[in-house]
Structure 1
Amino acid sequence: MIVPEPVQVQVQEDALAVRGALATARVGLVDREVVAEVVTLCAVAGEHLLVIGAPGTAKSLAVRRIAEQLGGRYFEYLLGRFTEPNEIFGPVDLRRLRDGVVEIETAGMLPEAEIAFLDEVFLGSTAILNTLLGLLNERVFRRGATVLAAPLRVCVGAANHVPHDPSLAAFADRFLARVFVDPVADARLEELLEEGDALSTPGAVPPVSAHALSGIDRLAKAAHSCELGSVRPVLATAVRRMRAAGVPITDRRAVRSQRLVAAAAVLDGRAAAEPGDLWTLPLIAPTADAQAASRDVLADLIGAAGSGSLCHAAEEYSHGSAARARRLAETGRDLLARFGPGPTDGDRRLRLEAVLREIDAGFATPDLGAELATVRDRLVAAVQS
């Protein structure tokens, strides 16, 4: 399929705008960049995301930060055993109730949100989860006499662990992508302490650079028409390998995985998918162990993967050197832009040196590539200034 040039140019411009929003959202996020990037991927794909991790691992912070940069109406709530439906969907309109009609006042509530975050999502009551099921699957809110087309781009659910209750299986399956988070590694504790302290200072949170939700919508439209024909045979091979490795992939999840592949392509500024975009496949595996197994059996298919916009996520789910190079180049550029010109000392110098060490430990000079080599030269100059 030949893509008209104006359409291709628009895709590239929107991908660059989203990349800028992600760069701003990542400031101060330590080891949670993947969450922000996968939220963006799912928003373009029109799918939902489940984030699994212990309390206190900054799940909500990562979602909130990218939601601020993307713009649009945002809804966030912590569910509990005793949460009432009206806390999520809105109260009954008492004026209409006097006439015997049950209508819901949805202003400011989940049915009118464009990006949503539901913490402890599996603790919701049966009434809440059943209503959510239709909202997530059909983007339509139905309750009483109220029927509303929901503008929801992506819903992020969070939980401490994957539910084992079979009655929750259908609901959990509506979250196509899953990200598992652990506490920040010991090697990055100094960075965590510095950034966490800085973000607690009033006015320290990066300002919104430009709302990118309109760009997300255009990219979502482009993803619907993304050319997938050339990668479908490789995708089928990948799914067969995952199933053979014991990863439970239902037919529905296999079909919908194409949406993540298409979203990865357009976020990289392309109107046609490539085999490298299959780095998104481990995301559909239901457990952390299954995701690790998926990376292993797909190593030869996704090892050369990379993404200009989602560099941290592409590295996490491909474990490839190409994705690592893109992530290091992006990290280096972010630090250089953040610290600005002039002499660097103290913590700033240590941060620059840490990136340099990681580059030199992972790549021989001939293997750097032009992009990473340029960033490395700039880092060396900044450290020596």
Structure 2
Amino acid sequence: MSRLGPLLRVYGTTRKDALAKLTEKIAASKRGVPIPSAQGSVSAYLTYWLEAVAVHQLRENTHTRYTACVNQYLVPGLGKKKLAKLTAKDVRTWLKQLRTTCQCCARRIDAGRDQPRCCAAGACCSKRLSPLTLAYIHSVLKSALEHAVREEEITRNVARNVRTGTPRPRRFEPLTADEARQFLAAVRKNRLFALYELALRTGLRKGELLGLQWEDLGLQTGTASIRRTLQRTQTGGLTALPTKTRASERRIALPSECIYSFQEHREVQEGEREAAAEEWRDNGLVFSTPAGEPIDPVNLNRSFRALLDRAGLRRIRFHDLRHSTATLLLEQGVELVVIKELLGHAHIGVTATVYAHVRLRLQRDAIDLLGHTLRDTAETANQLDASDDAPSCALPVR
């Protein structure tokens, strides 16, 4: 076998397994992807991992985010180090530097502005990465090194030995019950009223709503099958993809109000089909443009903000409609496992973590209610004791 650059070794539990790994690396080399080795740099391995491994395992948008993370943070910080010599101390020192360094300075953001207002102007704005961003960067490194361990390029994943702490979950502002009613009343005449009502009553994700097709609906049985999600990708534009996880592919019960809204919406869509005539693009989508084409998620966000302003409500994200559904259900006493199945979370722990603040508030309300009950009982007992001590002349006996 001819040598490909440095000496290439692969390992496997069987000869067939080792041969498969060798074939994969040779094919990657022919595509111009650097062959990783224990003596190679972290940068070379990350390039190989992104272009030969992660690209086949991740969604396109996720792979794009991983690539941006590698190019912006991992390669500049750790890229020159040898993969085999990377230590937990290196990772810990690098993360600390990311945590304490102004990103305007580190990434030369200010130098590219027309009017510098940070480092180039002599006044650092101290723009730091959020704990969530740091945790994400750390997780990308762990994923890459974990694959290196599986391929026996390194013996251990040193990134797993570094603790970054658990970041606080992203704060959200769900609608209250009064605000939800006000919102539904304000969008009643909108052509996409059925979409907004379904979002608020079932908590479906934006992509799941936009990817819903008429064949997915069972209006007679009152159910909907969630099978796909509509997303914009760099290569395919608006594309229908499988659901986020296996748990996200689910069947949900439709509220009676939504069934009636769907019937009205279908009549409106039929009218738009007739008006568009030959320009109609039949995609089978429940929610489409007046020409039958998929709705761009960005345009839906823009329309949603305009509706909130028109209704006199505070601005929230479209995704907060999903949080509003879960919050209102919890406040009505619905069990957490039912909400988990409705939202399509992979594990109930995700539901419990995201809505921990709601459960804490419900606990406090329950404790206050119990305290009120106990306090009333004690006061009643005191009143009874006082009546027992009353003089005999207080109540005449006949």
Same fold (TM > 0.5) = no
TM-score by structure 2 length?
Answer: 0.20
TM-score by structure 1 length?
Answer: 0.20
**Greater RCO, 1 or 2 (C-alpha within 8 Å, sep 6+):** 1
Pick the structure with greater CA Rg: 2
